[in-house]
């Protein structure tokens, strides 16, 4: 059998929003010989199970922080490509239980990276999912990859630290890792109904006013999960082609739109032909007021461009919830 571009693939966080879409694309494009997925919790409503991805991969149930387990998996399945997506990503949970988020996101990353270093003879590329939150609060400037990592709140700090750990392994041990920094993912399969897209769409479906926890003026960078997953695959392929060029490099992926939460909610309302108006709760705290990314580096070095964009992504996201939640 001809070796496929990613060879044997290991994905952490495969049941999540991004992980399920990335897995779907790799399967659809037949880019892997074998896919091994680390899953902590069995979530039957995840696309991972509803679309039967679990029947097409090797499922390992365990914790990202179990370095011996990761080491065994990488060695036993002769992993060539690693997509490290697993993390505790909910900002509210991080603020309430900071040590759990710090432990999962930081210790989980160094455990994985150390296991990768020990199995470096087989591994050709590692992609780590960092975040725009890793930059911290840069007073409204549009971040490019040269900006310092300066998280201040629990989730932000966890991503800053994990990002730096990956850079350390690249610089010190030449471990072939590259880093992605994206904004807020949205799209089909997001089961966290507290996030702005699911909460707004489901409220409108119930003919209830959507609620905005903040003052509605926070600016965020949003990216459709299908575009995000495609960007990961693009970077991984470039890493395989030129590891010496991309090892240790970070890339922002963004539509470069500065959207307030109110802008996002109004776009969803328009897409759903709703005359409802949002209810502003103004209850959020410990959040960065403005975050926006510069994607010039990805456009220039990776020849990256989104396949869908924001408004098309909103349309497809609304369609998915209408199809999958109509009986709930």
Has 155 been annotated as catalytic?
yes
Q: Hey, is 122 helix, strand or coil?
A: coil
Q: What is the DSSP letter of 62?
A: S
Q: How far apart are CA 314 and CA 271, in angstroms?
A: 8
**Which of 79, 25, 85 minimizes the C-alpha distance to 227?**
25
Length of the chain: 328
Of 155, 169, 232, 321, catalytic: 155
Residue 112: exposed, middle, or buried by beta-carbon count in 10 A (0-12, 13-18, 19+)?
A: buried
Helix axes 108-118, 67-76, angle to 10 degrees: 40
Write the Ramachandran bin of 319: left for phi over 0, alpha for psi from -120 to 50, otherwise beta. Answer: alpha
Answer whether 187's CB lies under 8 Å from 133's CB: no
Dihedral of CA 148/150/156/159: which sign? positive
CA angle 176, 131, 103 (to 5 degrees): 80
Strands 259-260 and 219-220 come out as antiparallel
Catalytic residues, by residue number, are: 155
């Amino acid at each position: 059998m001809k070796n496929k571009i990613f060879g044997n693939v290991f994905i952490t966080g495969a049941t999540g929003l991004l992980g399920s879409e990335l897995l779907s694309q790799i399967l659809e494009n037949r880019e892997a010989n074998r896919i091994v997925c680390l899953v902590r919790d069995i979530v039957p409503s995840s696309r991972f199970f509803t679309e039967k991805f679990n029947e097409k991969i090797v499922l390992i149930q365990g914790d990202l922080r179990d370095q011996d387990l990761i080491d065994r998996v990488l060695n036993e399945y002769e992993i060539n490509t690693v997509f490290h997506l697993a993390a505790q990503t909910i900002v509210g949970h991080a603020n309430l239980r900071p040590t759990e988020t710090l432990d999962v996101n930081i210790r989980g990353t160094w455990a994985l990276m150390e296991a990768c270093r020990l199995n470096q003879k087989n591994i050709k590329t590692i992609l780590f999912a960092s975040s725009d939150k890793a930059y911290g609060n840069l007073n409204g400037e549009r971040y490019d990859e040269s900006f310092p990592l300066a998280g201040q709140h629990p989730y932000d700090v966890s991503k800053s630290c994990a990002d730096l750990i990956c850079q350390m392994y690249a610089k010190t041990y030449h471990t072939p890792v590259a880093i992605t920094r994206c904004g807020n993912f949205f799209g089909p399969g997001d089961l966290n109904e507290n996030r702005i897209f699911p909460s707004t769409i489901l409220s409108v479906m119930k003919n209830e006013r959507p609620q905005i926890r903040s003052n509605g003026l926070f600016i965020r960078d949003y990216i459709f999960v299908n575009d995000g997953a495609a960007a990961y695959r693009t970077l991984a392929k470039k890493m395989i082609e030129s590891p010496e060029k991309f090892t240790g490099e970070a890339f922002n992926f963004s539509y470069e739109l500065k959207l307030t939460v109110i802008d996002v909610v109004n776009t969803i309302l328009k897409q759903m032909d709703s005359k409802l108006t949002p209810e502003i709760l103004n209850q959020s705290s410990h959040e960065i007021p403005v975050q926006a990314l510069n994607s010039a580096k990805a456009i220039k070095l990776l020849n990256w461009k989104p396949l869908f964009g924001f408004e098309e992504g909103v349309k497809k996201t609304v369609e998915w919830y209408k199809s999958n939640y109509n009986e709930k």
